[in-house]
Structures are given as C-alpha cells and as structure tokens.
Structure 1
Amino acid sequence: MIRRLNRIVQDFLRPIRLGIGRKLWDRKNKKNTELLKDKKLDMSRVKSILFLRYDGKIGDMVINTLVFREIQKRYPDIKIGVVSRGTATDIIKFNPHVNVIHEYKKGKERELAHIISKESYDVLVDFSEMLRVNQMKFINLCKAKVNIGLDKSDWQLFDISYEKNYRKHITNMYESILNIFGIVNPNLDYDIYTGVVVKDEIKRRLHELGNPENIVILNPYAASKHRSFNREKTLEISRKILKDSKNMLVFIGESGKKSEIEEIIEILGDRERVKYPTLSGILEVVELIRYSKYIITPDTSIVHIGVAEGIPMTAVYRLDTGDNNSVVWGPNSPLAKQVFSSDIPVAGEEADINKFDVKKLEVY
C-alpha cells in the first residue's frame, strides 16, 4: 500500500519537476549552423561524435554497436566517444570503433560534463525518450556544437530531432540516425568484442568439460520476476532440453541466483549433462554463447547477444499491450523464434511470462 501511494505521489510530482528542469536547462547559447545542412549534418566539418548511453542497458548497447561501426566505416578519422554506465560498458570495452568511453555516475554529472566539454565534441546524440532533469543538465553542460535527440523538435537544447517508429524494430530508428550522418543502406548487424583473456578463459572451461558440441543455454532470468521463468517452468524447459541425449544444458544467470539454480540442477539429477559455470562478467557470457548451438531465454539482453553471435534461439515474450515491445525489441532474426505468454495484465499488476506452452519451444 505504501509503495503504491509513493508511486502515485511520484507520478504527480514528475511532470512538475520536469517542467522546472526544462525551464532551467532547455537552452543552448549558440546554434552552430555551419555544421548543419538541410536538417542533416555537414560531415565534411564533423570530427567527433559523443553518444549518450547512460541508461546502463546491456541489450541497448549491443544494438548500438551497429551505429559505431557504420560511422567509422564511412568516416574512419572521426572520433567516437560513448557515455556509458555499469555492466553495459563491458559490451564496448574492446570495441575498435569506440575511441573514448566516459563512465557515467548518477550525482556526478557536472564533473563528467566538465571533462567532456573540454574535448569539444562536434555532435552529441542522446537516445532518451524522456529526459530527467539531471540528464537535461548534463547535455547542456557537455557543450557539444550540435545536439541530436529523440522526439525533441520543440526543444531549444536540440538542433536535430529524430523519431522512433513503434511499428518497426529498433534498428529502424538507428538507421534513421545514420541517415542524419549521410549513411544510407547500412549494415544493421551487431558487434561484440570480448578480448583475448576472456576467449582463453572460456576455451579452458570448455576443455575441462570435454569440449561439448551440443551446448544448449538456458537463461531463466530477466530484469523483473514477472519477466523471468519461475522454478516450475525452468524445470519443464530443462527436461525438454535433456530429452535429447546429445545435449548439454548450461544455465546462465547472475551470481545471486546460484542457490536457486543449484536446487534446480539437484532436482534434475544429471550433473554430467547439466552445468552452471561461474562466469566473470557479461563478456564471458557472450563468449560462452558463441560456443552454444541453441538459446532459450525470456525477453532480455541475452536475446540481442544471441542475435549478435548468430545463434538460433527461442525467445519468450509477454503479450503486447499497446507498446508493441515484441516488435520494437524483438530478436529481428530469421534464426530466432518468438513464443508468447497468454497472460493478460490486470490493473496494477504485470503480466506473468510463464503462461506459455513449453511444447512450442524448439531445441535443435
């Protein structure tokens, strides 16, 4: 009850805070029109671009890699900086198309913006659908010559606005951003670079397991319990995978889920063919996925990592309820099959992803 009241209060206060923040920070002292040409950029004058990915979302960063690559492919001398946060930073840690990574810390926006402003970026690209006050302030203080934002045509802070089509995959939005940079018909594949140390570590782990050829990865977890597989559903999926005697079932999931996964493995009673390796970071997860033959996962970043690595999968989604999430953030790959929960959300409750038929899952 207290949590619900707090949410009501926050929903009431949010537009007030945002309105005040916009009055303070929705401004730009100088419009650098020499960098603009017909609502696009004059790329003969652009030497550096800063991308803001301070949401810390791993899947978003995976998809974003296509933008970094396509820009440097077309303009190899351009400096690309990325403002990143948390584990998502590892996705671009070894990316050859990213020149500078700026680590974002909430509450430290002014300090980071001061550092960035000294680098004098020509272009700043923000991906936020709704800007919070600290983000408005941050963008203003970065002092890029041209700011580009999502649905910001009525803002003074932004020089160019682009749109998100909620009937198409998110890569359509990135393609429209690349068009602003004069790039048409781009390659929309994603790239993840893991580094030599990670590659060698996963090779060593797999060697200890006898270099299995039929690894099926099961990721039961997403960002919330409503989007994660429960124990009963995880066991049901596991037994389906283990029906094929050639398969090795490998669980992935954060360390906080260790006891839960170990209980599931104990119930399955086949420790020779069921493994839960202790992985150090998202890049080891990526490298392990490269050696798998199939993935089963709910709607989360593992979907986009699997697509980046070209691994067949089944991805489980909740029914769309107006946001078209399964289209916008779906796998968008011929190697992926989407299965949907039949649960319909009621007022104040999230839909349960576990209301789907395991028989619909495919395991090659």
Structure 2
Amino acid sequence: MFRELNRKFQDYMRPKRLALGKRIWDKKKTNKRKLENNIIEKENIQSILFLRYDGKIGDMVINTLLFREIKKKYPHVKIGVVSRGGATDIIRYNKNIDKLYIYSKKRKDIKKLGARISKEKYDLLIDFSEILKINQMMFVNLCEAKFNMGINKKDWNLFNISIDKIDYNYHITKLYDDILKKLGIETVNLSYDIFLTEEERKAVNNIQEDYIVFNPYAASKHRSFNVEKSLEISKVLLEKRKEKLVLIGTIDHRAELEKIKETLGKRVLVPKLNGILEVASVIKNSKLVVTPDTSIVHIAVTYDKDILGIYRKNKEDKNSILWGPNSKKAKIIFVEEDIKPGQEIDINKVNIDEIVKGVK
C-alpha cells in the first residue's frame, strides 16, 4: 500500500518539479535565434558536443553512425561525447570521436563537468532526451554551447533548433537521419561502428569451434528469461543447431548460466567476459545471436549477424519498431499476453514452438 501511494505521489509531483526546473534553467544568454537547415556550413560549426548521459548501451551503439557520417563529410569538425556507464566502453576506441567526457549523476560533478566543457566553447550541443530532468537542464545550460539542438523542444528558450518528436512507428535511425539532414548531410550510411582492440579479441581465443550466442537477459526483469525458460530455449538451440552454444550475461547471472551448462553438457560454454567490448568480440565471431535485449541486438546488427530477437507486444509497447534490429538478417518473435492496465507482459510466456521455427 505504501509503495503504491508513494508511486502516485511521485507521479503527481514529477511534472511540477520539471516545470520548476524549466523556469530556473530554460534560459540562454546569447544566440537565441532559431536555426533551420545546413547548420554546419551556414553557422560555421567547428565543434559538436553529443549528450548521451543516460548510459544506455544500445542507444550509444546506434549513435556511432552520427559520429562517422559527420566526420566523413566534415573531418575538421571536433566531436565530443558525454557518456557514462557501459555506454562509454562502446565508444572508448571510436576513431571518429575527439573528446570523451564521463558524466556523473552527482550535482557537484555535473557542475564541474559543465564548467570544464564551457571553457572549450563548443559551437553546437545535441541532446537526445525527450524529457529533460532538472540536473540535465542545468547541465545543458552550464555547457554554454553557441547553439543547442534538442528533441521536441520548440517551446524552449534553451534550444535553438528542435527535431520533431520521435515517431514510434519508425526505427530510431530515422531520427538520426533527420538530425544529419539538419546538419547538412544528405547521403548517409545507417550502419553502426564498434572498435575493438587486440585485448578484446582475445575473449574468443578459447572458443575453437563455430558457436551461436544466447543472451537470456535484458535491462528489465520483465524482459529477461528465468532459469527454467533459459534452459528450455538452450535445449532447442542445441537440438536445432550443430554449433556450440555460448551463454552470456553479467557477473550476477553467472551462477544461473553455470547451472544450465552443467545440465546440458560440453556443447555449452559460459566464458568469463570483462565488459561490453569483450561481449561484442564474442558476438562478432558468432553464427547466430538469440536475445531479448536491445543492446545485444544492436551489437549483433553492427557485425551483420543472423539474429533471433524476442520482444513483448502490446498496443502501447512499440519497442520492437523503434529499437528493434534494423537488419534484414533479423527475425522477431513476439510474446503476447492479455494483461490488465499497469501490468507487464511476461516474456517467459513465449511460445517455444515459435523459437523452434525461428532457429535455422
């Protein structure tokens, strides 16, 4: 009861807090004029700062197409990226990025980073948040870029240019294509980039035979498979494919994956992987990737892999469209369930026969 009351109170207060934050931080000292098209050439843009402080790995994978396409046409433009968490590792060795800044949620650290960035005098800041939290409003303001671009920010003073609200009936790359067009880049390649060093490539040295990858986990528990369903799917993959089966997950999942390995025998491997780039290295050398997680999906798309993606489906959830695998090599299985308002579809209700059909 207390949790439900607290949730309702937080839902009630959230828009009020955001409105207050906007009154405080939605200000721009100079260059309040709105911008239109061909921004890089018309405004003599020499540097661009991308804000990806959400730490989402899959989002950052897709963002890499922006860095490459800008550098391709305008190699002189300095590209800086603000990132945190596992998303930082995705771009750690990206040759199209000139400066990487690590974001912390602590208010004092946000102020320090904002002051540091403001001294570098970026010409253009691009923020990808549909809804800005108060600390993010403050950070955008403190960076003091010459121009700011945002998503659905037409009524903001802080932003000089607003990209139309995300259309959930199209893949997210359409939004990035729109951004590039505003910058003056018309012909683009929408593929992604992940750069690996020799150290990450060593992660697959002990896997001598062909293999497929199964990742049972996602950021949400409602999109993650339990041990029983993971075991059931693993059995199907071993029956339908001749390769070895590599199970991947975080350190917290290792004990569960080891139990599956003990049950199914020598054809199952659970490698010890340190970080997302070693995971990417394993995916790069695989024959098939099976996953409910969008970050793993995007990594697999980067390396042009066969993919079997498993998504939940209801009227409100268009995750599979917006963030699905943007690849002709991908198959998607939908999990549908009659649920009451406020409830979550359980991905463990997936029809195992659909997985049998989906695996070549």
Q: Match for 2:195 among 193, 196, 206?
A: 193
| Offset, 1:359 | 2.1
| Offset, 1:263 | 1.6
TM-score, L = length of structure 2:
0.95
- Residues 219, 293 of structure 2: 8 Å contact kept: no
Aligned ranges for residues 245-256 of structure 1 at < 5 Å? Answer: 246-256=242-252
- Residues 240, 359 of structure 2: 8 Å contact kept: no
| Offset, 1:347 | 2.5
> Percent identity over the alignment?
49
| Offset, 1:307 | 0.6
Counterparts of 1:49 and 1:273 in 2: how far apart (Å)? 48
| Offset, 1:42 | 4.2
Moved more, 238-247 or 314-323: 238-247
Q: Match for 2:180 among 173, 178, 181?
A: 178
Q: What are structure 2's unaligned runs of at least 5 residues? A: none
Which residue is 2:52 aligned to?
53
Q: What are structure 1's unaligned runs of at least 5 residues? A: none
Which residue is 1:26 aligned to?
26
Which residue is 1:212 aligned to?
209
The amino acid across from 2:2 in the alignment is I
Which residue is 2:267 aligned to?
273
1:240-278 Cα shifts (integer Å, max 9, x gaps) = 11114722010000000111111222222x1x2101011
- Residues 40, 160 of structure 1: 8 Å contact kept: no
Counterparts of 2:11 and 2:138 in 1: how far apart (Å)? 21
- Residues 79, 97 of structure 2: 8 Å contact kept: yes
Aligned pairs, number: 354
The amino acid across from 1:41 in the alignment is I
Counterparts of 1:197 and 1:250 in 2: how far apart (Å)? 19
- Residues 319, 344 of structure 1: 8 Å contact kept: no
Which residue is 2:220 aligned to?
224
Which residue is 1:321 aligned to?
315
Which residue is 2:121 aligned to?
120
Instruction: Tell me, yes or no, if structure 1 residue 3 matches structure 2 residue 16.
Output: no
1:102-129 Cα shifts (integer Å, max 9, x gaps) = 0000112111000000000000000001
Question: Judging changes above 3 Å, is the alpha-carbon distance between structure 1 residues 39 and 246 closer, same or farther for their aligned structure 2 residues?
Answer: closer
- Residues 32, 145 of structure 1: 8 Å contact kept: no
The amino acid across from 1:24 in the alignment is I
Q: RMSD across aligned C-alpha pairs, in angstroms?
A: 1.4
The amino acid across from 2:12 in the alignment is F
Which residue is 2:63 aligned to?
64
- Residues 48, 79 of structure 1: 8 Å contact kept: yes
> Helix, strand or coil: the match of 1:243?
helix
Question: Judging changes above 3 Å, is the alpha-carbon distance between structure 1 residues 262 and 182 closer, same or farther for their aligned structure 2 residues?
Answer: same
Q: Which runs of 4+ in 1 moved over 6 A?
A: none
Counterparts of 1:205 and 1:140 in 2: how far apart (Å)? 49
Instruction: Tell me, yes or no, if structure 1 residue 298 matches structure 2 residue 292.
Output: yes
Counterparts of 1:256 and 1:347 in 2: how far apart (Å)? 31
Counterparts of 1:102 and 1:243 in 2: how far apart (Å)? 46
The amino acid across from 1:100 in the alignment is K
Which residue is 2:171 aligned to?
169
| Offset, 1:350 | 1.1
> Helix, strand or coil: the match of 1:344?
coil
Counterparts of 1:169 and 1:109 in 2: how far apart (Å)? 31
Which residue is 2:150 aligned to?
149
| Offset, 1:39 | 4.7
| Offset, 1:346 | 1.8
> Helix, strand or coil: the match of 1:259?
helix
Which residue is 1:343 aligned to?
337
Question: Judging changes above 3 Å, is the alpha-carbon distance between structure 1 residues 62 and 344 closer, same or farther for their aligned structure 2 residues?
Answer: farther
TM-score, L = length of structure 1:
0.94
- Residues 283, 300 of structure 2: 8 Å contact kept: yes
